[in-house]
Amino acid sequence: MISTEIRRIAEAIGDPPEFSRRAHETAKAIGASAIELLAAEFHTEHSPPADVANKFPGLGQWIAARQFSIFEVLFYLGPASLPVLRRVAFGEYDWTQGNAIEVLCRFAAHGIEREQILMELKNAMPGFRYEALIYAAGPLRSHANTDPNVQAVIEELLSVPEFKEAYDELSNARA
Protein backbone atom coordinates (compact mmCIF):
# COMPACT_ATOMS: atom_id res chain seq x y z
CA MET A 1 0.00 0.00 0.00
CA ILE A 2 2.77 2.49 0.88
CA SER A 3 4.49 2.07 -2.47
CA THR A 4 1.19 2.51 -4.32
CA GLU A 5 0.45 5.71 -2.40
CA ILE A 6 3.93 7.08 -3.08
CA ARG A 7 3.44 6.39 -6.77
CA ARG A 8 0.05 8.14 -6.75
CA ILE A 9 1.61 11.23 -5.18
CA ALA A 10 4.69 11.17 -7.44
CA GLU A 11 2.52 11.13 -10.54
CA ALA A 12 1.19 14.57 -9.51
CA ILE A 13 4.58 16.22 -8.94
CA GLY A 14 4.00 18.65 -11.82
CA ASP A 15 0.84 19.97 -10.15
CA PRO A 16 1.92 21.36 -6.74
CA PRO A 17 -1.58 21.80 -5.23
CA GLU A 18 -2.60 18.27 -6.23
CA PHE A 19 0.77 16.86 -5.13
CA SER A 20 0.32 18.48 -1.73
CA ARG A 21 -3.30 17.36 -1.44
CA ARG A 22 -2.41 13.75 -2.21
CA ALA A 23 0.49 13.77 0.27
CA HIS A 24 -1.71 15.22 2.99
CA GLU A 25 -4.44 12.70 2.28
CA THR A 26 -1.91 9.85 2.40
CA ALA A 27 -0.43 11.08 5.67
CA LYS A 28 -3.88 11.09 7.25
CA ALA A 29 -4.61 7.61 5.92
CA ILE A 30 -1.38 5.88 6.95
CA GLY A 31 -0.51 7.74 10.17
CA ALA A 32 2.76 8.10 12.03
CA SER A 33 3.16 4.36 12.53
CA ALA A 34 4.19 4.17 8.84
CA ILE A 35 7.16 6.55 9.13
CA GLU A 36 9.83 3.84 9.05
CA LEU A 37 8.01 2.11 6.18
CA LEU A 38 8.21 5.38 4.26
CA ALA A 39 11.92 5.68 5.02
CA ALA A 40 12.44 2.17 3.67
CA GLU A 41 11.07 3.41 0.32
CA PHE A 42 13.70 6.14 -0.21
CA HIS A 43 15.78 4.10 -2.66
CA THR A 44 13.23 1.77 -4.24
CA GLU A 45 11.75 1.82 -7.73
CA HIS A 46 14.43 3.70 -9.64
CA SER A 47 12.62 3.49 -12.97
CA PRO A 48 9.05 4.61 -13.61
CA PRO A 49 6.31 2.09 -14.31
CA ALA A 50 5.61 1.74 -18.04
CA ASP A 51 2.32 3.63 -17.90
CA VAL A 52 4.01 6.82 -16.60
CA ALA A 53 7.46 6.44 -18.17
CA ASN A 54 6.70 9.15 -20.75
CA LYS A 55 6.14 11.68 -17.92
CA PHE A 56 9.51 10.83 -16.33
CA PRO A 57 11.91 10.24 -19.24
CA GLY A 58 15.10 11.61 -17.65
CA LEU A 59 17.60 9.67 -15.62
CA GLY A 60 16.64 9.89 -11.96
CA GLN A 61 13.38 11.79 -12.51
CA TRP A 62 11.14 9.02 -11.20
CA ILE A 63 13.12 8.23 -8.06
CA ALA A 64 13.42 11.97 -7.34
CA ALA A 65 9.64 12.34 -7.70
CA ARG A 66 9.14 9.39 -5.34
CA GLN A 67 11.57 10.85 -2.82
CA PHE A 68 9.86 14.25 -2.91
CA SER A 69 6.57 12.42 -2.38
CA ILE A 70 7.85 10.52 0.64
CA PHE A 71 9.21 13.68 2.24
CA GLU A 72 5.98 15.55 1.58
CA VAL A 73 4.10 12.81 3.43
CA LEU A 74 6.65 13.05 6.26
CA PHE A 75 5.97 16.78 6.40
CA TYR A 76 2.25 16.15 6.80
CA LEU A 77 2.89 13.50 9.45
CA GLY A 78 4.33 16.31 11.54
CA PRO A 79 6.73 16.17 14.49
CA ALA A 80 6.63 12.38 14.68
CA SER A 81 8.79 12.48 11.53
CA LEU A 82 11.57 14.44 13.22
CA PRO A 83 13.76 11.44 14.17
CA VAL A 84 13.82 10.16 10.57
CA LEU A 85 14.31 13.64 9.17
CA ARG A 86 17.22 14.32 11.50
CA ARG A 87 18.76 10.93 10.77
CA VAL A 88 18.72 11.67 7.05
CA ALA A 89 19.61 15.38 7.23
CA PHE A 90 22.53 14.96 9.61
CA GLY A 91 23.68 11.52 8.48
CA GLU A 92 25.96 10.44 5.69
CA TYR A 93 25.38 12.27 2.39
CA ASP A 94 22.68 10.83 0.19
CA TRP A 95 20.39 12.36 -2.44
CA THR A 96 17.67 12.46 0.19
CA GLN A 97 19.64 14.73 2.52
CA GLY A 98 18.42 17.87 0.75
CA ASN A 99 14.82 16.70 1.03
CA ALA A 100 15.21 16.19 4.77
CA ILE A 101 16.82 19.62 5.21
CA GLU A 102 13.95 21.21 3.28
CA VAL A 103 11.27 19.56 5.44
CA LEU A 104 13.11 20.47 8.64
CA CYS A 105 13.15 24.09 7.46
CA ARG A 106 9.44 23.96 6.73
CA PHE A 107 8.80 22.57 10.21
CA ALA A 108 10.86 25.41 11.70
CA ALA A 109 8.90 27.89 9.58
CA HIS A 110 5.69 26.58 11.10
CA GLY A 111 6.94 26.76 14.67
CA ILE A 112 7.87 23.13 15.17
CA GLU A 113 11.08 23.13 17.22
CA ARG A 114 12.06 26.29 15.34
CA GLU A 115 15.02 27.39 17.44
CA GLN A 116 16.38 23.85 17.88
CA ILE A 117 16.13 22.98 14.19
CA LEU A 118 17.68 26.26 13.08
CA MET A 119 20.54 25.87 15.55
CA GLU A 120 21.18 22.29 14.39
CA LEU A 121 21.12 23.33 10.73
CA LYS A 122 23.37 26.35 11.22
CA ASN A 123 25.89 24.19 13.08
CA ALA A 124 25.81 21.38 10.51
CA MET A 125 25.56 23.30 7.22
CA PRO A 126 29.26 24.11 6.98
CA GLY A 127 29.89 20.35 6.79
CA PHE A 128 27.08 19.52 4.36
CA ARG A 129 27.86 18.76 0.74
CA TYR A 130 27.07 21.60 -1.60
CA GLU A 131 24.65 19.38 -3.55
CA ALA A 132 22.54 18.81 -0.45
CA LEU A 133 22.27 22.55 0.15
CA ILE A 134 21.31 23.24 -3.47
CA TYR A 135 18.78 20.41 -3.36
CA ALA A 136 17.21 21.91 -0.23
CA ALA A 137 17.36 25.53 -1.38
CA GLY A 138 15.39 25.02 -4.60
CA PRO A 139 12.17 23.73 -3.03
CA LEU A 140 12.54 26.15 -0.12
CA ARG A 141 12.71 29.03 -2.57
CA SER A 142 9.48 27.80 -4.19
CA HIS A 143 7.72 27.51 -0.82
CA ALA A 144 8.95 30.98 0.16
CA ASN A 145 7.07 32.45 -2.82
CA THR A 146 3.80 31.70 -1.03
CA ASP A 147 4.84 31.33 2.61
CA PRO A 148 6.49 34.26 4.39
CA ASN A 149 7.40 31.97 7.31
CA VAL A 150 9.58 29.90 4.99
CA GLN A 151 11.12 33.10 3.66
CA ALA A 152 11.97 34.11 7.23
CA VAL A 153 13.74 30.78 7.81
CA ILE A 154 15.70 31.21 4.58
CA GLU A 155 16.75 34.70 5.63
CA GLU A 156 18.00 33.33 8.93
CA LEU A 157 19.93 30.52 7.23
CA LEU A 158 21.55 32.95 4.81
CA SER A 159 23.85 33.84 7.71
CA VAL A 160 25.57 30.49 7.02
CA PRO A 161 28.04 31.19 4.17
CA GLU A 162 27.67 27.71 2.66
CA PHE A 163 23.90 27.98 2.47
CA LYS A 164 24.12 31.55 1.16
CA GLU A 165 26.44 30.42 -1.62
CA ALA A 166 24.05 27.64 -2.67
CA TYR A 167 21.00 29.87 -2.43
CA ASP A 168 22.68 32.69 -4.36
CA GLU A 169 23.71 30.29 -7.11
CA LEU A 170 20.11 29.18 -7.49
CA SER A 171 18.92 32.77 -7.50
CA ASN A 172 21.50 33.76 -10.11
CA ALA A 173 20.63 30.77 -12.29
CA ARG A 174 16.97 31.82 -12.34
CA ALA A 175 17.60 35.53 -12.84
pLDDT classification of 156: cutoffs 50, 70, 90: very high
Provide the whole-model pTM: 0.94
Confidence at 174, pLDDT banded by 50, 70, 90:
low
User: pLDDT of 47-102, one tens digit each?
Assistant: 888 888 889 888 899 999 999 999 999 999 999 999 999 999 999 998 899 999 99
**Interatomic CA distance for residues 48 and 60, integer angstroms:** 9
Task: Tell me the pLDDT tens digit for each residue of 111-128.
Answer: 999 999 999 999 999 999
* Model pLDDT for residues 21-41, shown as the tens digit of each residue: 999 999 999 999 999 999 999
Query: Which residues, 6+ apart, have CB-to-CB distance to 39 below 8 Å?
Result: 70, 84, 88
